[in-house]
Amino acid sequence: MIGLGHYLILAALLFSIGLVGVIRRKNLLMLFFATEIMLNAANVAFAAISSYYHDLSGQMFAFFIIAVAASEVAVGLGLLILLYKKYGTLDLDNFTMLKG
Amino acid sequence: MENILSVLIFFPLIAALLGILVKKETIRVYGLTVAAIEFLLSLWLWFAFDPANSGFQFIEYVPLVSDFGINYYLGVDGISLFIVIMAALITLIGIISLGEVKDLKNMIISLLLLETAMVGVFVSLDAIVFYLFWEFSLVPMLYIIGYWGGEKRLYAAIKFFLYTFAGSLIMLVGMLYIAYVYQSVAGVWSFSLTDWYALVLPISVQKWLFWAFFLGFAIKVPMFPFHTWLPYAHGQAPTVGSVILAAVLLKMGTYGFVRFSLPLFPDAAVAYIVPVGVIALMMIIYTAMVAYAQKDMKQVIAYSSISHMGVIVLGTFAMNAVGITGSIFLMLSHGIVSGALFLLVGVIYDRRHTKLMSEFGGLASVMPRYAVVFGIMLMASVGLPLTIGFVGEYLSLAGFFRVAPVMTLVGGTSIILGAVYMLSLYKKTFFGPVTKEENKKLFDLNGRELTALIPLVAIVIWLGVYPKPVLVPIDNSVKALVSFMQEKAQTPEAKAIIHVSTSSKEAK
Amino acid sequence: MLQPISVNMASLNLSTLSPMLVVVGGALLILIIDLLKKNLDKSLYVTLSILILFVDFGATLSLGINQRGFFDVMLIDGISVVSQLLILIASMLFIPLALTQKRFHEYSYPEYFALFLFMVAGFQFMVATDNLILIFVGLETASLALYTLIAMHNTPGSHEAAIKYFTLGAMAAGFFVMGAAAIYAVTGAVELYDVAKVMQARMSEPGILVPVIGGALLMMVAIGFKVSLIPFHLWTPDVYEGSSAPMAGYMSIVPKITMMVVAMRLLGLYVDMGVEPVRWMIIALAVVTMTLSNMMALVQEDVKRMLAYSSISHAGFVMAALALDTTKAYSSIFLYYTLFLFTNLGAFAMLWISRHKGQTYHSRFHHPYEKFAGLIHTSPQGAVIMAIFMLSLTGVPPFSLFWGKLYVISATVDAGYLWLAIVMAINSAIAAYYYLKLIVYMFLKPPAPGIEAVGINSSKPLVVIVGISVTVTALSVFIMQPLLSYISYMVSVSGY
Amino acid sequence: METFAFYLFSILIVGLFCVTVMSRNILYAMTSLAAGMVLISGLFFLLGADFLGVVQLIVYVGAVMALYAFGMMFFDATGTVKENNTPATTVFLLGGLSAVVLVVIFAAPAIGGNVHALYPTPEGATNPQAVGLVLFTKYLIPFEVAAVMLLVAMIAGIILAGKKMDKSLSRMKDESAVSEKDVK
Amino acid sequence: MESLVYTALFAPLVGSLFAALFGMKPKSLWTGTVTSLLLFVSFVASVLLLQHVMEVGPVHVTLMDWIVAGDMRIPFGFNVDQVTAVMMAVVTLVSTVVHVYSNGYMEHDKGFNRFFSYLSAFVFSMLVLVMSDNFLGLFIGWEGVGVCSWLLIGFWYHKEDVTRDVNPSISPSWAANEAFIMNRIADLGMLVGIFLIYWNVGSLQYDEVFAAVPQMSHTLLVAIGIFLFIGAMGKSAQFPLHTWLADAMEGPTPVSALIHAATMVTAGVYLVIRAHPLYSSIPEVGYFIALLGTFVAIFAASMALVNRDLKRIIAYSTLSQLGYMFAAAGLGAYWVALFHLAAHAFFKALLFLGAGNVMHAMHDELDIFKMGGLKKVMRWTYIYMGVASLALCGIWPLAGFYSKDTILEVAFNEHTYGIWFVLWLTAGLTAFYSFRLVFLTFWSDERYKKYGFHPHEVQKYVLWAMAPLGILAVVFGWWKEEFMEFVTQLLPAYEVSEHTHHMVPILIVVTSAIAIGGIVVAYVLYHKRLRRNPKIEASLPYRVLSNQYYIPILYEKAISKPYAELADIAWKEIDMQVVDATVDGIAKLVEESGDETRKMQTGNLSDYLKWMAAGAIILAVLAIVAVVKS
């Protein structure tokens, strides 16, 4: 039997990987992938805790996170399409008009 | 008329708002009328005031935010009565003196708003209401300096606003702390001064609160080293702005000392006589020197204001009736005199558009009336007996002498140094041959200027010769204040230094 | 085998849901109307939205205090009612700003109003529950709608703003869920009252502080993002600049109030339990936020951007109250935001009134300071009104925010954090400079020659909104007593 | 067995996600992301959260990836992406530090003890049944809100990707906008 | 009697205000006449009061309260006792004469009306000074005379500043300011004295204060005595505050006569006399006063020896005589001091008015080296000045003889032989320089012709107006006994000891001898023609003396200039560079940190994301710190 800690550390690591991606990526689409990883990390954590505590709230939370992730993808893609249509690029280095 | 104080506060405010509707051509008459009515109302206040009663009169009390202890609480006693009257008078004089300025309408509206704030500050007995008017007074002044001022007006206006604003915020924290202490003792919130007076604060608390309030007041006064906004403000402000700034706004600071610092923190005030005294001495001597070095007439008077305010501070911290009465009287006299001096500088500035002393010389022969009025004000400024300037200065120094003789001796140099810079100004400007061609055909004072100045001259002499009608009400209230302070003081040292009266002490 | 579930309808306490139902239903109604008939004028949707929000407002007002509904998911306590009311007031004041003189892209969509109402519903859900799941879902609903609303302004700025906000928001969502996971890991609960109970019980266990504080920390990132605390604020100025002025004004108030309520529920729990590190983290964030944002605001060239930084600073100011854990402090937050709502929305509405379409004044900014130079001559009323808003933001009495500041600082003093009160005071003084700068431009500088009229986008509804705002701002002293007693009552019955 | 599965899945997931994060090729990134998602659903099954696993598969692998793929095609970015990536030191410093922080938080030994379930899994019910039970009672409201959220997302997606956004009324002079309408 | 007091006091004020009404108008004869008449009224009232005091006793009136604060209650109270009555009579008499005289002297001046206004105002102030029944009232007059003196010295304000070589006083306005400021320095001392009195006695009324003297500690009395005397030093131009007096000669000559010889400068002496109960109980301070007076006597006389300026010589002699008065007062012989004060007032005023006549004749030329032989054209002036000079030298039977000799007797009697010797020597010097002036002006060769002057005698009525002074300069001393009896009703009677009594005739002879000796030397040297010895003029002592011991230059170099420079530094270096720069620096610092901080707002989303992660880490660090600390 694997301890809860293992799952949680895995979740933490996945989150960190997501974070690295978020920090590293300049292409917005790829960046969104990384945010998905972050959300999934949380899902793993919730599912594991839920399972170990025999409590359903965690699974519910994970379920809603998935729903949120789906919605975010929809909106995010909409935005990306808009940006791509207008500017022909998804590199966030190109969007630095607003600053200071 | 029980609500006369409210009327005094809000009459100019309403007048200012209605002033927006008045046509530009008639605004001068409107402004004059309003200011005159306000002044008459203030005189009525004096008339109705009972000089024998040392407590607050014409009290108005309306809860504003009762859960938080903020009330619309007004009252006037001998200490504030005359400052209110002076504020009304100076506003009136200021409006009379207004020449052909741009956007006269806005100017008059601003002045009336300022009058509301000034009167409000001096009659508020609720700390928050006091603070409200205190802060609000900055706004019209900001506009007056910043719009009608000289070359560097923006810098001056912003500096004036920010500096005073910053200081008073710290004071606000102090106020909130007192209210908190009051709440923890009495169980209810209150910002009423009279409630606070009853509160005996631990000495350690008094000490830091003293400095919190000190900062707010010191910047307003302004005390060394927080004074540098003043020369800019005066240097850039239009004449009427300087007049009101010097005459009334600065007095808010010293009034604050009397109204807040002394009765609320008697022990701390006594404990800090020496540091405050040293600062006051710095103001007196150092700024007098700086005044002497100035090349611009207005700057001389600006710095001289600081120097005189130093004497006021000394008097305030005398901790006896003589000194405090003197300092309050000196507030009045400095208000009248410096106001008049700024008006006078304005007169010459209107004609020549310069205030540099080197541009003048020999004006006494070209503008004799001007020279006479200036001379009288100069003498009042240096504290010549039988002018208004002497009484307050003498009493302030006399009072402080009891506390710190040596410091008084040093502070007394104000009468010397004051003479040095004022006489040198007078000499440079009025004496000697008329060297500049432009100066040869200057007009002497015209009717409008005389109307503004003559009342001030009359007051200068009247109150110099017969100050009693003003001194007695002030003194009654101050005596009450001092004996209250002595009762409230906790340490024996403080009790010893706060001096009520030779006779009453013997009676005890 | 499973037992059939029988649910007593009365125990569900459906009324707790009524405000959100109204507004969601309203949004659907708008969508249906649009389906039935195209190309209706925006004024219809504006008025409809106001009416829906008004009904919502009524429904919220009639909620009984301190009840739970729907299997204890819904929580109607004092602060939830107060914050919902604030959200609704702000929304009602915001919507008419669509009726401008000029045409702007977003208002050509009926969906704009539907999305807006959905967003309001999302916010309402966030404050009307203490279930982390519902908070999260509500948050995302509102946020997604908000991103869209921003992008719909359809200018390069708004696109950039939307993508920035969206991306950072996604990351913040990640932190939120990770934080929730940590809390869940410690307590096995996602409902805050349960969390509190379990945590209280477990506080004495050795080593418990690490995950407890860790959870708070992760949540704080998400909260900090939404409330825009430094260093999570970075989106704020850019997004405010990119979006339309009303949207920026709205964003400076409503999402912050809602997140502040969440923070009260969540972080308040820690502070209340005496987890000192959390308290210090809040204070540190607050101090850094108000100080640095003030400094940055000082050097802005654009009024809207300055107001963005100013709203960050105000958020920091209020956030400090969160660390105090007194009823007065919590009340002061609502009091402050109530007053801030009118002032700031008014200020942004003024910017909106002055909005023009071309880039007349500046190659990038729509509202550079220069634009307002000499406004007192070209539009005296406008100048005076804007000055009142600025003075209020500065904290000059008698204008509204003075009372807010007074109360917040007072609460800080009462809690014994004198130094914090002094820091707040000093920051207010620094802040005075940049508000003053605008006043200086409006009143003390001559108008720049040959430019378009500043009030170009003005219309009656806008003027009315500004009028309401300025009235409340200027005369706030008279509503202070009822407001204060109402808010204090509402906060204290909620147990804060 | 379970242990083996866990470690296998874990290593694979971490590896795949690393590819997602590090790869220059968008196709690789997406594929590894999808694969990682699938494996995560495997973890869910492992944990007994069958319903969650299914949802994960459907939503992520199905919907999300389809959406992304659609988007990707739209962007025509099948080749390598030229990115001016953040310097590795910054990335690993920040990533490493946050990993440490997170691990410290989540690996705390205090987690896991002394907690009893507030919403225990009903006896004798399968996971989907249990989930259904909770979802339609306790979590009905969040569920409905999630529905609203999806609706919002849908509207948002439609609007943002729609043709109407091509021309900006906010940028256009009012006169021309009016005339355009008249022409219609 | 009250009305008499008020008449005497306020008549000059009325005159002053009347003249002020016409202050800016061109000359009108009215102002001169009316003010002179009113002064005469005041004089008559003073004489009547004097008589009243003699016959009945002092009069005390209180007009009204002036300052009331705390326990301080200061009325406008006036007390006419023996000393005051004498002072009033002297002041009003000399003033009346000077007013009448000025009608002629200022005839052609543009500021005629203004002049009379100032002059009468001065008299009023002086009367307040002597009549007040309390110290603060005295202070009113004290400052009042200061201001009037300022106005009058600077009467010809339009003159330009010149260098010290051309005119040692630089300009009237400069001299006026110098006088005012120097007096102010002393006034501060006086004020402090007043404060000391108030806080220890609780009153400033003379009677109460003097009644309290016995109860006060010695140190306190010494302190009060010193501070009051500092005040006296300023008004009476005692060293080191003496420079203003000579410079004050820039004022019109009647002013010099009235203010800087007869009245105002004696205010210091008056103060010491007035405060005699105080000073008698602190003999050591008195002795110091006497020493200082003696020093000033010879110090001033020495400067007069070489001066060429008609008025300055007389001014130095005034200074010297003031020294005599202080010597007497300091040694306790208050009545003698008062006696000399009165006598001096008469002959010194006469001397100055005579000098005014000469100036008038010489078109404002003051250099006695350019005069000579004027007795032919200015007979009466010559007689007046001769008489006055003789009186000044103390030649029997003129007024100066009685008063001055008595002072020498006192000095002898007190066994302060040093003081006696110096005063004796000074008497010789006085005689020399006085007659040097007389001979160089009125005798010797008519050098003025060389410079193209056409001197002429002044108007008749002016000469007549001077007559009372002339008569009094002669006869005043004859009333010594009566005077003594009268004033010693109030002042302590000073009796010389038996031993001294025997010595008196010898002393008289010795003193008279040196005086006559001085006259003779002057006669020998100057009666025929001006003798100048370039060698002597180039010698160091001569230069020192003619440059007033370099004291004015020293003051300028050591005080005025450094003060101006320090003031400049205070303004430009400290106020602007330190104080204000700090304020602006803070503002700038805030703004610059704003500029720095905004750099985190790069506009690049990636950076924002990094900041967010970094923020989380920073928070974690913070949390760790907080945990560790708690």
CATH of residue A36's domain is 1.10.287.3510
Mean pLDDT of E248-274: 89
CA C425, CA B89: separation in Å to the nearest integer? 35
Contact B297, B48 (CB under 8 A): no
Q: What is the Cα–Cα distance from B452 to B463, expressed in whole angstroms?
A: 18
Take residue C5 and report the two structure tokens written for it: 């579930």
Tell whether C231 lies on the interface with A, counting CB pairs under 8 A: no
- Does D21 map to a domain? yes
> Is D115 within a domain?
no
Chains that touch C (3 or more CB pairs under 8 A): A, B, D, E
Question: Helix/strand/coil (H, E, C) string of E419-456?
Answer: HHHHHHHHHHHHHHHHHHHHHHHHCCCCHHHHHCCCCC
Per-residue pLDDT of chain C (496 residues; tens, 9 = 90+): 456 667 777 777 888 888 999 999 999 999 999 999 888 888 899 999 999 999 999 999 988 888 888 888 888 999 999 999 999 999 999 999 988 888 888 888 889 999 999 999 999 999 999 899 999 999 999 999 999 999 998 888 899 999 999 999 999 999 999 999 999 988 888 889 888 888 888 888 888 888 889 999 999 999 999 999 988 999 999 999 999 999 999 999 999 999 999 999 999 888 888 888 899 999 999 999 999 999 999 999 899 999 999 999 999 999 999 998 899 999 999 999 999 999 999 999 999 988 877 777 777 888 888 888 888 888 888 899 999 999 999 999 889 999 999 999 999 999 999 999 999 999 999 999 999 999 999 988 888 776 666 777 888 889 999 999 999 999 998 999 999 999 999 999 988 8
A2 Cα to chain C: minimum distance (Å): 16
Is D166 inside any structural domain?
A: yes
**Does the pLDDT at position D78 exceed 70?**
no
> Which of D34, D56, D81 represents a domain boundary (last residue)?
D81
Residue E262: band (very low, low, confident or very high) from pLDDT cuts 50, 70, 90: confident
CB within 8 Å of E195: residues ≥ 6 apart: B397, B398, B401, B405, B408
CATH number at residue D39: 1.20.120.1200
Nearest to residue B287, comparing CAs of B246, B227, B221?
B227
Per-residue pLDDT at D179 exceeds 60 = no
Section B306-325 average pLDDT: 92
Is residue A11 in a domain? no
Q: Cβ neighbours of residue E377 under 8 Å, at least 6 residues apart?
A: E361, E455, E456, E457
Q: Which of C490-494, D54-58, D74-78, E495-499 has the lowest mean pLDDT?
A: D74-78
Which of D85, D91, D97 to mutate to probe the E interface, most E CBs <10 Å?
D97
Residue D25 located in a structural domain = yes
Count of the separate structural domains present in chain A: 1
According to DSSP, the β-strands at E72-80 and E59-69 are: antiparallel
pLDDT (tens digit, 9 = 90+) per residue, E600-612?
Answer: 888 888 899 999 9
In chain A (100 residues long), the average pLDDT of successive 10-residue segments reads 84 92 88 90 91 87 92 90 86 85
E69: enclosing H helix or E strand: strand E59-69
Q: Do the domain assignments include residue A10?
A: no
* Residue contact A71–C241, C-beta within 8 A: no
Cβ(B277)–Cβ(B363) under 8 Å? Answer: no
Residue A80 forms part of a structural domain: yes
Mean pLDDT of E87-103: 91
Q: Which of E583, E588, E591, E601 to mutate to test the interface with C (most CBs of C within 10 A)?
A: E601
Q: pLDDT > 70: what percent of chain B?
A: 98
Q: Running DSSP on this structure, what letter comes out for residue E26?
A: P
Identify which of E595, E601, E620 has the shortest CB distance to residue C217.
Answer: E620
Residues of E in contact with D101 (CB under 8 A): 616-617, 620
Number of domains comprising chain D: 2
**Domain co-membership, D75 together with D2:** yes
Whether D172 maps to a domain, the answer reads: yes
Q: Does residue D130 fall inside a structural domain?
A: no
Does residue B277 or residue E104 have the better pLDDT? B277
Phi and psi at B498, nearest 5°, equal: -70, 120
Nearest-by-CA chain A residue for D31: A33
Of B115-129, C227-241, E477-491, E529-543, minimum mean pLDDT range: E529-543
**Is B465 near chain E, with CB under 8 Å?**
yes
Could you count the other beta carbons within 10 Å of the beta carbon of residue C452? 13
pLDDT at residue C166, rounded to an integer: 94
Measured distance CA(B215)–CA(E423) in Å, rounded: 60
Does the residue D74 lie in any domain?
Answer: yes
Q: Is E59 helix (H, G, I), strand (E, B) or coil?
A: strand
Question: CB of C116 within 8 A of CB of C150?
Answer: no
Q: What is the pLDDT of residue C3?
A: 66
3-state SS class at B55: coil
Residue B38 has pLDDT above 90, yes or no: yes
Domain membership flag for residue A82 = yes
A17 touching chain C per CB within 8 A: no
Name the residue facing D159 among C109, C125, C158 (closest C-beta): C109
Shortest CB distance from E71 goes to which of B384, B472, B502? Answer: B502
CB B179 within 8 A of CB B189: yes
Q: How far is CA D96 from CA A18, C138, C425, in A?
A: 12, 32, 39
Touching check for C73 and chain A: CB below 8 Å?
no
Whether A45 and chain C come into contact, CB under 8 Å, resolves to yes
Interchain CB distance below 8 Å, C163 and A67: no
The answer as to whether D22 is a domain residue is yes
| Alpha-carbon span A87 to B382, nearest angstrom | 75
Burial of E628 (C-beta count, 10 Å sphere; 0-12/13-18/19+)? exposed
Q: Tokens representing B135?
A: 């802060």
Query: Which residue on chain D is closest to E612 by alpha carbon?
Result: D94
Contact assessment for residue D28 and residue D19, using Cβ atoms and an 8 Å cutoff: yes
Verify A-D touch: 3 or more CB pairs within 8 A: yes
**Residue of B66, B158, B162 with shortest CB distance to C429:** B162
Q: Is D34 on the interface with A (CB under 8 A)?
A: no
Determine, yes or no, domain membership for A9: no
pLDDT over threshold 80, residue E616: yes
Q: How sure is the predictor about B112, in pLDDT bands with cuts at 50, 70 and 90?
A: very high
**Could you say which DSSP state residue B65 is in?**
E
Residue-averaged pLDDT of chain B: 90
pLDDT of res. B506: 42
From E28-32, E185-189, E553-557, the region with the lowest mean pLDDT: E28-32
Q: Does B322 contact E72 at a Cβ distance shorter than 8 Å?
A: yes
User: Which of chain B's residues have a Cβ under 8 Å away from the Cβ of E564?
Assistant: 292-293
Is residue D184 over pLDDT 50? no
The rounded distance, in Å, linking the Cα atoms of C398 and B138 is 12
pLDDT higher than threshold 80 for residue D117: no
With contact defined as beta carbons under 8 Å apart, do C111 and C77 qualify? Answer: no
The enclosing H or E element of E466 equals helix E460-475
Encode burial over B236-247: b for 16+ CB neighbours within 10 A, e otherwise: bbbbbbbbbbbb
pLDDT for D76 equals: 66
Does A55 reside within a domain?
yes
SS3 content of chain C, % helix, strand, coil (to 5): 75, 0, 20
Q: Which two tokens stand for residue B13?
A: 């405010």
Which structural domain, as residue segments, surrounds residue D72?
A: 1-81
List of chains touching E (3+ CB pairs within 8 A): A, B, C, D
**In this predicted structure, which of B126-130, C120-124, E490-494 has the lowest mean pLDDT?**
E490-494
E598 in contact with A at a CB cutoff of 8 Å? yes
Q: Rounded to the nearest 5°, which phi and psi values hold at B74? A: -120, 155
**Domain presence at residue A73:** yes
CB A46 within 8 A of CB C133: no
Alpha carbons B350 and B352: distance in angstroms, whole number = 6
Is there a domain that residue A45 lies in?
Answer: yes
Give me the pLDDT at residue C14, please: 81
Over E365-428, what HEC string results? Answer: CCEHHHCCCHHHCCHHHHHHHHHHHHHHHCCCCCHHHHHHHHHHHHHHHCCCHHHHHHHHHHHH
- What's the rounded mean pLDDT across residues B337-354? 91
Residue from D92, D101, D104 whose CB has the most chain E CBs within 10 Å, to mutate: D101
Q: Which residues of E touch D95 (CB under 8 A)?
A: 613
Domain of A54 in residue numbering reads as 28-91
C-alpha closest to that of B460 among B328, B308, B305, B337: B337
Identify whether the C-beta of residue B227 lies closer than 8 Å to the C-beta of residue B306.
Answer: yes
